[in-house]
Structure 1
Amino acid sequence: MVKIAVAGGSGKIASGIINALAATKKHEILIISRREPTVTENTPGVTWAITDYSDRKALTEILHGVHTVLSFVGGAQDPGSVIQKNLIDAAIAAGHRGTTLVCGEGQYPRVSQRRQQGKEGELISNVLEYTLFQPGLLLDYFVPPGSTTFPNTQELWIDFNKHRAITLEGKDGVFTLTSVEDLANIVVQAIDYPGEWPVVGGIQGTTISGSELLKIGANVQNREFDITTLKEEDVRAGNIESPWIPHFADPSLSSEQNQQFAKLILKGSLLSGLARSWVVSDEWNRLLPDYKFTRAWEFLEKHWVGKG
């Protein structure tokens, strides 16, 4: 049994992994968050520590006695990676193993670069063991709401719920799809893994093209998707003329700002598919060869047959 600290533990992805860790009844889990837990978040074996992450000394105290840190803080939550830097320095000061889980295009290179620099230029890899868990895009985004414990509230450019998709003319994006359950199970096994963690920790469920995913959608729902086709040059220029845009809603933003972000997310998603930014490597697949991943078509068939 070891003590595991989960930074940003109140988030959507973190919750699935915390539940998987708690289910093993092997570890003590400490959630580090900026907010107080609700009554429904009280889980046996799980405690909370409230912090704004700004005080490195306080963070170091919180991390004393912790064996492993799982960090889910990043992106828009942490401009300039200030929280990540404080968390890394506190983990080094507390003297234990550390890991960062990042999910989403564009975050891997920035976080990985930070991981290569410690205080006064010392390589972090010399003082802190870490891995970047990289699952690609989560399969759970493509299932009916409520089908899994993951709250898939964000619409994507391939919308299984409304049988529609937005594609680039003459181009086919490629990405890796991994279920939240598989991601959580790999993290659980990684905690107990006796060998050295790989710095780049790819978790590869199914690597698939957009056209292949659309074929799966048509088959499991027994109906064709309504396809909107855009030109790559228009998307790159931000000139997105589409009858629909994947819905994005942040209560802290105005309606106009949400619409702007929705177009930026769509642009990034389509171009990321071309750049293969969501295609990940298979380090953890090779380190844990006995684990059987759920393939994309199996997962989607399970959740969609009879529901289309």
Structure 2
Amino acid sequence: MPSPFAEARMICASHTPLMDHVDADPLVDAEVRQHFARLAEQVAVFDPELIVEFAPDHFKGFFYDMMPPFTVGIRATAIGDYDIGVPGDRFDIPEELALDCVRNLYAADVDAALSYRAQLDHGFAQLLVLLTGSVGRYPVLPIHINCAGTPLPSFRQVRRLGDGVGRWLAGLNKRVLILGSGGLSHDPPIPTIATAPPPVAEMLIAGRNPPMEARRAREQANYETARKLARGEGHATPLNAAWDRSFMAQMAALDFDSITALAEGELTQLAGCGGHEVRNWVAAYAAMAALGPFTHQDIFYRDIPQWNAGMGIAAARRPSGHQA
């Protein structure tokens, strides 16, 4: 049984940097923002002593020159892509606590790298900005899961990571907020190294700190992909609302077997290359499950092609002590 600990909360949500750059249905836009605003109010009342965020990267801060399956940020700054967060802003990472997490993961036979100079893109920044106002409002432990640079860590590995983090959190006696950032179905224009021409392959290997013009060009390509998707044009895999809803139901039931059974290529066909970001939901739910019983709520789902996002939001809470 886990040790007694202070109250824990979890929020899993899709991120989409297109929210502030490509117009969606105004009613849908307003509904999404209202849900995040209400959650932000709840986070402020909860006043977490530590936020643990599982999130992906989009070849902005992690590259093929060294691509671990998991990386714990010991020190980190925001890239500020898509004007989300301020470039160079520091995440407020309690270093000794982060190192203690790494030691505990190693003791649990979970392989995770660590970084004293992590650069974190919108995959980390957007939820923190929406829920807290900035990347540095609360102490945060950022944990990167490789969801873009194939081959990807298996869902069994991801679940083991989440379980290890949850068991570590159980002994901290802190108010903890667990975030899972990413998914659901979407297919952004991220190239694959197997088919990329040499200049693009080099970007995937060592593309840190590109010129602003190159960064903006990538962002514009993402906007145009979404606009074409909304018009029924282009080559992006369509959003898959049925699969998204099924996945959310599986997570609510702690059914990890269904997602584990999907091969990497199968998931890409079903949910696009961005669908692999659901690994962050799996890690977050596994961490909550390691803490013991919790109450759960599916808050929102809508497929929003203008944002190239199967937009899902779910939350869970566990009061202090052992009883849910």
TM-score under structure 2 normalisation? 0.27
Q: Whose Rg is larger?
A: 1
Whose relative contact order is higher, 1 or 2, with alpha carbons under 8 Å and at least 6 apart? 2
